[in-house]
Amino acid sequence: MEIWHVIRAGDKYIFNFKDLRPWFDEWYDRNVEEQELDSEIARELAFPCWVFDHAVGFAHVTKWLVYNFPGHITERNPIGPKYRHIHLAPPDFVGLVNQARGRLKTVLRGPLWEKVGSLLSEPHTCSCWQKTSAEYLAALVKCKVYPLEESFPKNSVTQIFNRLEGFGHTSAAKDCKPCNVNWPECVSSACKIARGYFDGLCLDCMDHSKPKRADEDEDYWTHDFKPSARWDQNCRISHGEPTWYHSWLGRDDRRQKLLKERHKAL
């Protein structure tokens, strides 16, 4: 990828990459916006988008990787071993995107399990609840989705969505209200929630949350974070709470404190 040769030259001759932002914006619009990403291109683009502070591109690439890369997400440096030092620090990329990918497993599991969990845990007077629960779980296994602990490490989230699109099992317990669950709706709802969960990493949230002084209590969040405001306040991309959460580079106890303040304010 030619953009990496520019980065290599900048590393060698100590360019100020901020001066090249307009050029990269134009390069990105011309070469990336209409191009369909794949695993290699997306992994190669993460660092350039970060270097040139391209918030839209970084969010786009990281979201694509979280949903479409099978297994553990890593960067890719296409210019050889001599330049291995040119990369994002693992806590600034690898840790964040894999944390978001792992969280999607929990997000998907919740609505997939909710109804069948109720059938398995609540007392019943009918004789069909066991068969109903077993048939639903067997249908998920047949789709090669369940258990998620086995399917997630080997497949992308999008592959799992695609398999769940083939889910067509319906309850045979038409005369039993507790057991007559609309299983296709449960599966469809789980996919919808998971698809809308993550908007990609936000460079502005990353920058704001990264400690810049010895005294972290004097950082951006102490002065400018409004608990009742939008999660993407002062950001160049639109996003919700999960992107804010997964883009956090500060101390976890500080993040949890801000979340509690936010929930109290709502």
Write out pLDDT tens, residues 135-192: 999 999 999 999 999 999 999 999 999 999 989 898 878 889 889 999 999 999 999 9
Spatial neighbors of 150 by CB under 8 A, at least 6 apart, are none
- CA–CA separation, 206 vs 226, rounded Å? 17
Give the integer Cα–Cα distance in Å for 36 and 70.
17
**Burial level of 67, CB count in 10 A (0-12/13-18/19+)?**
buried
- Within 8 A by CB and 6+ apart from 233, the residues are 225, 226
Residue range 206-229: mean pLDDT, rounded: 62
d(CA 261, CA 15): 42
Q: Do 227 and 258 form a contact (C-beta atoms < 8 A)?
A: yes
Distances (CA, A) of 114 to 108, 185, 186, 208: 11, 12, 9, 37
Q: Is the pLDDT of residue 217 over 50?
A: no
Q: Which of 46, 43, 113 is nearest to 71 (CA)?
A: 43
Write down the pTM of the prediction.
0.89
Nearest alpha-carbon partner for 83 in 6, 25, 19 = 6
The predicted-structure confidence for 219-250, as pLDDT tens digits, reads as follows 555 545 665 678 888 899 999 999 999 999 88
Q: What is the DSSP string of 135-183?
A: HHHHHHHHTT--SHHHHTTTS-HHHHHHHHTT-----S-TT-TTT---H
Residue whose structure tokens are 């690898």: 94
